[in-house]
Structure 1
Amino acid sequence: MLTYLLRRLARLAPTLLLISAVVFILLRLVPGDPATVLAGQDASPEIVAGIRARLGLDQPVLVQYAVYLKNVLRGDLGQSIRSKQPVLEELAARLPATLLLGFTSIALAFVLGLALGMTAAVRAGRWPDVALLVFALLGVSAPSFWLGLLLVLLFAVQLGLLPVAGSDSWAHLVLPVATLMPNSLAVFARLSRSTLLEVLGEDFIRTAVAKGARRTQVLWRHAMRNALIPPVTVAGLEFGRLFGGVIAVETIFAWPGAGKALVDAIATRDYPMVQGIVLALALLFALLNLAVDLLNGVIDPRARHA
């Protein structure tokens, strides 16, 4: 296990290096100039040139990247062009809100998805199973931004039950989570249903039943342990996919997280902030997938030697 962990961590460095290089170069290919944004449209070329020189944007791209990479290795992600604050401080202020939103959504989706999938599997072919399949189709098809606007219109505007924006209380978390969760919930429910149906047809399940084991004992002690493996594996990927939805959801609900900060940074051509947020999210995604792989090894000992 330790060898596997070290091998995975060794692969992490080149992956992050590649991501940082791609983001760094793409930002400089996109039309727009942070110096112009800072100086204003009416600023003279001399003022814009002075700001570009101060920000180091007058250097060749490879030189800029080399300086950036050297600073990153020292733990310095640069200074936000817009707020004039260190990017690390901005991330420390923004990431907890995004993690709260993401982990709450994925945890609820995982637990409810397993419960719905198990219910549908033990009642295969009956109305709970059909209802789950219909819900899964709708859940996977509904775009987060469309669902978010619909929930705002219904629960905030029409009924006035929940706040639209902010993060002062737990009530502010309800609509963003309800917007993010359905897609992952549908994935977990459908996957756990199909996996549990497959496991219930295995020989060791029939053997346990033949030996007189109770239905609940067979389901919880034997079937669910094996049926958990695919949903746990997918959980890491779902969290990564969730980051894409977080950007739209945080913008809709003015949630003060890294997703909204990323949108604001792109709009103002805040290169250091964009690079820092993308790098932090990529690192988080890689570490979460590593944690999921290690958890798989606990659930299924065979995975440790795979």
Structure 2
Amino acid sequence: MLLFTVKRLLMLIPVFLAISVVIFMLVHLVPGDPIDNIIRVGATPAEKAALVARYGLDQPIWAQYVNWFSKMVQGDLGDAIILRRPVADLIAQNLPHSLALGSLALVFSTVVGITAGAIAAIYRDTWFDRGVMTVILLGSTVPSFWLALLMILLFAVTLGWFPVSGARTASALVLPVLTIGLGGVALVARVTRVAMMDIARRDFVMMLHAKGVSRWRIELGSVLRHAMMPVVTILSLRIGWILGGAVAVEFVFARPGLGSLLITSLNQRDYPVVQGCLLMLAIAVMLGTLLGDIVQAIMDPRIREGMK
């Protein structure tokens, strides 16, 4: 298992290099100039040129990338041009808020999604199954930012149950978690239902029925357990997706986090902060994929054998 984990980690190195290049190039191709946001009105071209040179923006793009990457691998993400603070400090300040929101949303979508998908699979082709899948289909098509606005209008403005924005109390997490988690519920439930229906047609399940094992014991003890492989894959991919999907939701609910920091920095064209935020989101996706592969290898020895 250790050898499998080491090989998967080594495979992430070229992926990380490619992602760093893409992030750096995309950020610098965005129209706009961060210097325009900090230079005083009436400044001379010489003063602007001095600021450009101060932040290394006068160098060729490849030289800027090499400089940024060499510092980044040492843990230095540079300094924010607008806020004039280390990018690492800004990320460390906002990351816990995003992790709390993403973790709770992942737990919510996992528990509710697997439960709904399992019940729909057990009662397949019934009115309950069709009702659950209809609700799930509708949930998967609703954009998160639109759902967030509906949540605010109904539960915060009309009913007054939860705060509209902020992160001062635990209750402020409820609406953002529901907004992000409901989209995941639809995906997890669909995958769980399809996987369970596929496993239910296997020979060993027919044998258990022939032996007189109770239906619930077969469905929950055997079918659901074997159907977890594709569900684990989806959940591992959703770790990074949830943090990325929280960008719009955090901004709508005016919550601190990587999402709000990223959007604010994009509007200001603050290159170092945008690069740092995108890099954190990319690392979350890679670590989520790695975790999913490790869990799958633990569940299925054939995967470990395939890596030897």
TM-score of the two chains, using structure 2 as the length reference: 0.95
- 2:226 aligned residue: 226
* Residue 241 (structure 1) shift: 2.6
Once the two structures are superposed, the pairs formed by residues 1-306 of structure 1 within 5 Å of their partners are 1-40=1-40, 42-306=42-306
Aligned-partner Cα distance in 2 for 1:169–1:155: 16
Distance in 1 separating the partners of 2:236 and 2:45:
48
> What amino acid is the match of 2:299?
I
- Number of paired residues? 306
> Distance in 1 between the 2:80 and 2:193 partners?
47
- Calculate the TM-score normalised by the size of structure 1: 0.96
Letter in 2 for 1:92: A
> 2:239, 2:284 within 8 Å by CA — same for their partners in 1?
no
Shift of 1:188: 0.7
- Give, in whole Å, the separation in 1 of the partners of 2:222 and 2:304: 20
Q: Quick check: 2:251–2:259 contact (8 Å CA) kept in 1?
A: yes
- Secondary structure of 2:109's counterpart equals helix
Determine the C-alpha separation between the residues in 2 that align with 1:40 and 1:149.
37
Counterpart CA distance in 1 for 2:194 and 2:232 is 14
Confirm or deny: 8 A CA contact 1:151 1:179 kept in the other structure: yes
| Secondary structure of 2:83 counterpart | coil
- 2:77–2:86 contact (8 Å) kept in structure 1: yes
Q: Contact conserved, 2:238 with 2:288, CA < 8 A, in 1? A: no
Q: Name the CA distance, whole Å, in 2 between partners of 1:145 and 1:91.
A: 23
* Cα offsets for 1:115-157 (capped at 9, x unmatched): 1111111111112101111012101110001111111111111
Query: Which amino acid in 1 is paired with 2:154?
Result: L
Whether the 8 Å CA contact 1:250–1:260 is kept in 2: the answer is yes
- Structure 1, unaligned stretches of length 5 or more? none
Root-mean-square deviation (CA), in Å? 1.4
SS class of match (1:82): coil
Shift of 1:220: 2.4
Offset of residue 67 of structure 1: 1.1
Deviation of 1:40 after TM superposition, in Å, equals 4.1
Q: Give unmatched runs, 5+ long, in structure 2.
A: none
Change (3 A) 1:148 1:40: farther
Sort the Cα spacing of 1:41 and 1:22 in 2 relative to 1 into closer, same or farther, 3 A. farther
Identity %: 40
Distance 1:59 1:166, change over 3 A: same
Contact 1:225 1:299 in 2 (8 A): no
